[in-house]
Amino acid sequence: MTNILYDHVHRQDVTDYWEAKPDIHTPFSAAADWEAVGLAMRASPLACRTFIVKHTAGMCGVGKFMKRWGEREFDTCPRCDIPEDACHVWKCHGNDADNVWANLE
């Protein structure tokens, strides 16, 4: 019951927040399958949920934030030397990146 109330009270605020972001190209609420997201998140361990949220928001250990946090001197990808953000990690084809993903299958 608490989840239903929370969803009812806060859904519009969350939707408005994400739709105001410049990186969101489609209406966020229409693109998200909230029921499927909820089921997947509840079925995942806490560490996995934490990773998903951080990576989805882009605030994770990638060049952009590692430089901002003072952990790296540059914000570039160590594999291809292009500025690295969370989306870049999934798209990078530099120095064996494809092999890393292939070995996860």
Q: Which residues contact 23 (CB under 8 A, 6 or more apart)?
A: 58
* 60 shares a domain with 21: no
Whether the pLDDT of residue 63 is over 60: the answer is yes
Q: Is residue 39 part of a domain?
A: no
Q: What pLDDT shows up at residue 77?
A: 92
Q: Is residue 51 part of a domain?
A: yes
Who has greater pLDDT, 102 or 94?
94
* 9 shares a domain with 56: no
Whether the pLDDT of residue 1 is over 90: the answer is no
Structural domain count of the chain: 2
Q: Is residue 38 part of a domain?
A: no
Domain region containing 93: 44-105
Instruction: Report if pTM > 0.75.
Output: no
* 51 shares a domain with 17: no
State the average pLDDT over residues 4-26.
75
**Per-residue CA distances from 1 to 8, 16, 34, 37, 83 (Å):** 11, 24, 17, 18, 44
> How many other C-beta atoms are found inside a 10 Å radius of the C-beta of residue 58?
13
